[in-house]
Amino acid sequence: MAGTLLGLDIGSSSVKGTLLDVSTGKVIAQSSSPAEEMAIEALKPGWAEQHPDLWWEHVSRVIQSIRSSSPKELSALKAIGIAYQMHGLVLVDRDGKPVRPAIIWCDSRAVELGVQAFLKLGQKECLETLGNSPGNFTAAKLAWVKNNEPQLLERAAYCMLPGDYIALRLTGRFGTTPSALSEGIMWDFKHSSIATQVLKHFQIPVSLIPPVGDSVGTFAEVRAEVARELGLPPGVPVTYRAGDQPNNALALNVLNPGEVAANAGTSGIVYGVSSKLGVDPESRVNNFLHVNSTATQQRVGVLMCVNGAGSFYRWVKNTFAPSLSYKELNALAAQSPVGSRGLVSLPYGNGAERTLGNRNIGAALSQIELNQHTLGDVLRSAQEGVVFALCYGLEIMRSMGLSPTRFRAGYANMFQSEVFRSTFTTATGAPLELYTTDGSEGAARGAGVGAGIFSFSNAFGGLHRDATLEPEGSKAAAIQQAYERWKEAVVRAMQ
């Protein structure tokens, strides 16, 4: 079949777009905006906000860039898919206009409200019905607005996830999905319905939830005036919406029980697929509906998140070596031995960490020897610290019965570093498959499935595997020793 598919990935750092050829599954054009990372506003410690119109501004720039480079191919567009930063809260009025900036994923102002809800609703009931503690997710953020900005909540017609808002801007239609609601801890896994018990606890009217439809399938067509403004052909449907981590898993063809994806972008993620809901008693690992979950065949995405991964490494770069490129930093890191000569990095400090029981212990460099440690040691320690934080979460996932024997990841972000890749494979003890793909490409493939052009089983033509890396046995003992030293530092920080 001739034609193209457009995938949009709405991140907190940038918006990315991919135009994919239907017949070959290969990328025709890609674009990203802005050139530098989008700002995150933090009016108070632990807060993190972005205005939804900022995302739309960069969506427009991305589409216009793709139109400039590939006008003929864009004119053959068949469908649009949207991936987006998870857990954010967007409140809109009846005209679809935001009533306040979005409270995004790494904002931790609502932690205490989530903890109180967990205790009040009952821990067992929450985990077995919601798959998670209400924690610091969208529902708790909505409760914070109700308690602290009631006049703004009165103006709101609907609460939405970030991807719902972009779909609204494209189509003019209000809507959300079960997957999105599960991200916000507003979905009842047991009854396959809106979690009214959570909304009742927070005294939030159910009417704030927009109409619920499928993640995969035609949602609505792009409005004629928006199509003209962006240079899109008339009548193009939006056929796919998914949170960034379920979508990244789809981009890597991680769809079946036992398959696992990893990501080390702004945050660090391990995301596995299960056929049933499993729980961590402390809700340090979370469960969301995967993109291919249906009423008759449930697929649960088991997600472990470390908020500070690439964001921590960026802080190290900006603080210690702002003039060097990441390629140069990675080369310096490779000059330091395994274990970074005893230097320990805790890559936190980007909001409350679920793997630490919703604590925010801050980022740290410790065991510094002024006459010994070099910039290379600092850089290697930062990369090892991110890997070890992921391993710490993996211990929790394994206790839940999910034991990865192989990982898939995009050849991007921190996985571009040889030090990071080697440490990751050896510390986890599992092979790592690297692919040339990203979230916007995954959203394009999802759009194809939603439009009926692909099935989930044949949506991956053109997906290229770059390499398969194996654990390095010669480094295993030293890495394990460094990991144990790292865990001791975490325990001290949480005391």
* 251 domain residue, yes or no: no
Residues 57 and 185 in one domain: yes
pLDDT 10s digits, 464-488: 899 999 999 999 999 999 999 999 9
Q: What is the mean pLDDT of residues 217-246?
A: 97
What is the reported pLDDT for 287?
A: 94
In this structure, are 475 and 378 located in the same domain? yes
The percent of residues in the chain predicted with pLDDT above 70, rounded, is 100
Domain boundary among 243, 268, 293: 243
Does a structural domain hold residue 353?
Answer: yes
Same domain, 225 and 341: no
Question: Both 336 and 228 in a single domain?
Answer: no
Residue 105 pLDDT > 80: yes
The answer to whether position 278 is within a domain reads no
- Summarised one tens digit per residue, pLDDT across range 123-160 is 999 999 999 999 889 999 999 999 999 999 999 999 99
Residues 238 and 325 in one domain: no
Q: Which amino acid type is present at position 300?
A: V
How many distinct structural domains can be found in the chain?
2
Domain that holds residue 39: 4-243
pLDDT at 282: 86
Domain annotation covers residue 132: yes
- Report if residue 463 sits inside a domain: no
pLDDT exceeding 90 applies to what percent of the chain? 91
Give the confidence band of 400 by pLDDT, cuts at 50, 70, 90. Answer: confident
- pLDDT at residue 36, as a whole number: 87
Round the average pLDDT of the chain to a whole number and report it.
Answer: 95
Q: What is the pLDDT of residue 196?
A: 97
- What pLDDT, on a 0 to 100 scale, did the predictor assign at position 300? 95
96 and 206 belong to one structural domain: yes
CATH code, domain with 216 = 3.30.420.40
pLDDT of 284-314, one tens digit each? 999 999 999 998 899 999 999 999 899 999 9
The model's confidence at residue 362, banded by pLDDT at 50, 70 and 90, is very high
Evaluate if residue 279 carries a pLDDT over 90: no
Determine, yes or no, domain membership for 280.
Answer: no
Residue 97, domain member (yes or no): yes
Question: What pLDDT does residue 283 have?
Answer: 85
Given a cut of 80, whether residue 1 has pLDDT beyond it is: no
Question: Sorting pLDDT into bands at 50, 70 and 90, what band is 403?
Answer: confident
Question: Residue 83: its pLDDT value, please?
Answer: 98
The last residue of one of the domains, among 196, 223, 243, is 243
Domain boundary among 224, 243, 262: 243
Q: Is the pTM of this model over 0.85?
A: yes
181 and 313 both lie in a single domain: no
pLDDT of 266 strictly over 90 = no
Instruction: Quick: pLDDT tens for 14-29.
Output: 999 999 999 999 999 9
Residue 376 lies in a domain: yes
Indicate if 197 and 62 belong to the same structural domain: yes
Verify that 316 and 172 share a domain, yes or no. Answer: no
- pLDDT of 82 over the 80 cut: yes
User: Domain check: are 336 and 475 in the same one?
Assistant: yes
Tell me, yes or no, whether 233 and 314 share the same domain: no
Same domain membership, residue 95 and residue 211? yes
Average pLDDT score over residue span 437-444: 96
